[in-house]
Amino acid sequence: MLVNVLLNRLSELMSEQNKKADKPKNKGDRPNPFDMKKNKGGKPKFNYVWIYAILAVVFLAMTFLNPTGGKQVTVDRVLSMVENGDVKKISVINRSRAEIYLTEDAKKAEEYKKDVPESAFSGSNAYTYYLSDIGDYEFFNNQIKEAQKDLPSSSKVVINPEVKENFWDNPLVSIVLYIVVFGLIWMFIMRRMGGGAGAGGGQIFSIGKSKAQLFDKDTKVNVTFKDVAGLEGAKEEVMEIVDFLKNPKKYSELGGKIPKGALLVGPPGTGKTLLAKAVAGEADVPFFSLSGSDFVEMFVGVGASRVRDLFKQAKEKAPCIIFIDEIDAIGRARGKNAMQGGNDERENTLNQLLTEMDGFGTDTGVIMLAATNRVDILDSALLRAGRFDRQIYADMPDLNERKQIFDVHLEPIKVVKNLDVDFLARQTPGFSGADIANMCNEAALIAARSNKKLVEKQDFLDAVDRIVGGLEKKNKIITPDEKRAVAVHEAGHATVSWLCEFANPLVKVTIVPRGRSLGAAWYLPEERQITRTEQMLDEMCATLGGRAAEKVIFDKISTGALSDLEKVTKQAMAMVSIYGLNEKVGNVSYYNMDNSFSKPFSEKQAALMDEEIKKLTDQQYKRAIKILKDNKDKLLLLADQLLEKEVIFKEDLEKIFGQSAADKAAEKDKTKAEKKPKKKKVKEEPESEIEAK
């Protein structure tokens, strides 16, 4: 009954608040605490206001409904009360507890006054005394009858037997209630601390369970190695793991130990998850997939318990694969940031993971795969033998691999027959596999929007633009003057980089405004590991080409070159203070030594470096101006074409300037290289002649 009262009150509260939530908001954007926030699934999220409400109700219930209203008395005292005719009613509950209600007159009497409960809730209907145990019911009944035999029948008391589920008397109930209350408080605090990262109300009991997503017979992984393009080396290593899972005996009989885990290392979107899924698909075993951050919760001990649960489940399903994405969330080196505190929980989780990995034998058939893009920050204990001792690299795809990835993702898309995949691969330098997948999808959407039957090359180009530069801003207002300035600026970049041998090769130039930038020149970053001085200088020159062109054509410079200047300054600083490419400053590097408290160099050195940085940028700016002055007519031609077409490709530049400096140099090298072997032959011949002699 009490529970019912509670529930009624709660539902009243809720409906009141729902009404409030339904009202249109009229106070600007201030967040309304009664808003039912929708989470992903569309289910209303438990707002913290509910927690307040529940807490309040539970506390009220516990204070007012607990039988603290009366005072414990003895049987003799009750009998004397009855004898005096002061008792109105006696309720005997469950034949053991008696509650004594006094008459109104008696309540006012001096004798009882102090014992009458005053609580507003108990009111006048409350009992004043109780007997927690009456002993034998019949005997008690007789005693009462005996005691009041002299009283007039009008004021005789009848015993009123009641059967009550005496809920609140049960110690278990109070314990449970306290747990619930503290659970709610705890959840509330954690929610505030964890920024809502915690579980919703219903999940509190499953918090220690692993959140792994399981793919097995029912939800089969149907990714195979065919779906993974490129990554040849990685695939080969991973195939071995498939073999371990398929024929463990083959290895263990020879005394070999099956690896427990492999770490997939590489930048995001390069197909690490895909590769792990392919392993599961090929080996035809269950696949547990989860992210490192799934272990992390503000609650103490939850991470470790989730790890235990994960391994328990995995062992039941063996042979199987556990895949932990972004393992750096738990695997970061321990004890490095002790100052920050709050790391204990993560360390416990990591320790548990290490223990579990040591715990399962190599014949259990559980193989762990984990992905990260930051091996360097992982705890070395994770990388030790018997844990993730293998590292498999998934790098960004190169041109050829990009082509293969396109082939995979173009398969389900209806494209025009003569689509040049090679061209697409060339247009997408620096794209990861995920970017390419995204781009193919985007192209299909763009084509569908204009009601095309097949996806064309232009749709793919639009998709590239969208992915690289954010959404095209058609409505951005630019005056014709501004547009011309942008065209000249971009043409300047293009001209200088075309005429500098070592600048990055140009892919295209555009003056279509996108996102924050008004125009852009895309370069194909050469895939090189070492940059030489002349390459850095040429790049700086090309970067300054935009501003230089404005100067040459309009004799005015603008604010449009902010990001160019930033880039050039960074490059010049790097040359002088990091790579030791400056003669005067010499072979020193202050890489990562610079912090705001103490500089690793003297004031004099600082002044010298400043001077050299300025000299470098000035020199390159002058060089850019000279190049542009010498080619002013071509620069103007290019700017005009840009104004007209908005986008210009490598081929158009070739028409204006002829072969680029880089191509010319490459050709020279080629002819040199062709000559070289001849020379060698000439050299060799006399030698052999000598030998023959």
Residues labelled catalytic: 490
Choose which of 210, 273, 291, 348 interacts with ligand ADP (CB under 6 A). Answer: 273
In the bound state with ligand ADP, the residue whose beta carbon lies nearer, of 354 and 405, is 405
Q: Helix 533-554 to helix 562-577 angle, to the nearest 10 degrees?
A: 150
Binder among 231, 307, 321, 324 for ligand ADP (CB under 6 A): 231
Report CA torsion sign: 358, 360, 363, 367. Answer: negative
Nearest residue (beta carbon) to ligand ADP: 433
Scan residues 551-580 and list those touching Zn ion (CB under 5 A).
Answer: 564
Rounded to whole angstroms, the Cα distance separating 440 from 53 reads: 50
At a CB cut-off of 8 Å and minimum separation 6, what does 347 contact? Answer: 334, 335
Q: Which of 324, 328, 235, 248 is nearest to 287 (CA)?
A: 324
Asked if 270 is part of the footprint of ligand ADP (rule: CB under 6 A), the reply reads yes
Single out the segment in contact with ligand ADP by CB under 6 A; choices: 19-27, 225-233, 357-365, 576-584.
Answer: 225-233
Q: With respect to ligand ADP, which residue has the nearer C-beta, 137 or 393?
A: 393
Which does residue 519 touch among Zn ion, ligand ADP, none (CB within 5 to 8 A, set by kind)?
none
List 464, 546, 613, 623, residue binding Zn ion (CB under 5 A): 546
φ, ψ dihedrals at 671, nearest 5°:
-65, -35
Query: Three-state SS for 262?
Result: strand
Among 198, 269, 303, 560, binds ligand ADP (CB under 6 A): 269
CA–CA separation, 277 and 288 (whole Å): 9
Select the residue interacting with ligand ADP from 69, 70, 230, 519 (CB under 6 A).
230
Q: Which two tokens stand for residue 5?
A: 């009262």
Region near Zn ion per CB under 5 A, out of 72-80, 360-368, 530-538, 541-549:
541-549
Nearer to Zn ion, 539 or 564 (CB): 564
In the list 131, 274, 447, 624, the residue contacting ligand ADP (rule: CB under 6 A) is 274
CB of 438 to ligand ADP, least distance (A): 8
Q: Is 539 in the site for Zn ion (CB under 5 A)?
A: no
C-beta of 4: minimal distance to ligand ADP in Å?
51
Write down the least CB distance from residue 308 to Zn ion, Å. 56
Q: Which of 408, 410, 542, 572 binds ligand ADP (CB under 6 A)?
A: 408
Distances (CA, A) of 357 to 261, 277, 296, 307, 535: 9, 21, 18, 10, 48
Reading phi first (left if > 0) and then psi (alpha if -120 to 50, else beta), residue 62 is in: alpha
432 close to 397: Cβ distance less than 8 angstroms: yes
Angle at 200 between CA 194 and CA 206, to 5 degrees: 100
**Counting contacts by CB under 5 A, is residue 492 touching Zn ion?**
no
Identify which of 219, 229, 256 has the alpha carbon closest to the alpha carbon of residue 240: 256
Taking alpha carbons only, the member of 231, 221, 220, 216 closest to residue 408 is 231
Give the total of residues touching Zn ion (CB under 5 A): 2
67: amino acid identity, one letter: P
Residues 410-439 that bind ligand ADP (CB under 6 A): 433-434, 437
Closest CA to 212 of 111, 317, 135: 317
Chain length of the chain: 693
The Cα 657–Cα 650 span in angstroms is 10
**Using rule CB under 6 A, residue 228 touches ligand ADP:** yes
Q: Which does 546 bind (CB under 5 to 8 A by kind): Zn ion, ligand ADP, none?
A: Zn ion
- The answer to whether residue 69 forms part of the interface with Zn ion (CB under 5 A) is no
Q: Is 229 in the site for ligand ADP (CB under 6 A)?
A: yes
Q: Does 371 bind ligand ADP (CB under 6 A)?
A: yes
The residue ranges that bind Zn ion (CB under 5 A) are 546, 564
Binding site for ligand ADP (CB under 6 A): 228-231, 268-274, 371, 405, 408, 433-434, 437
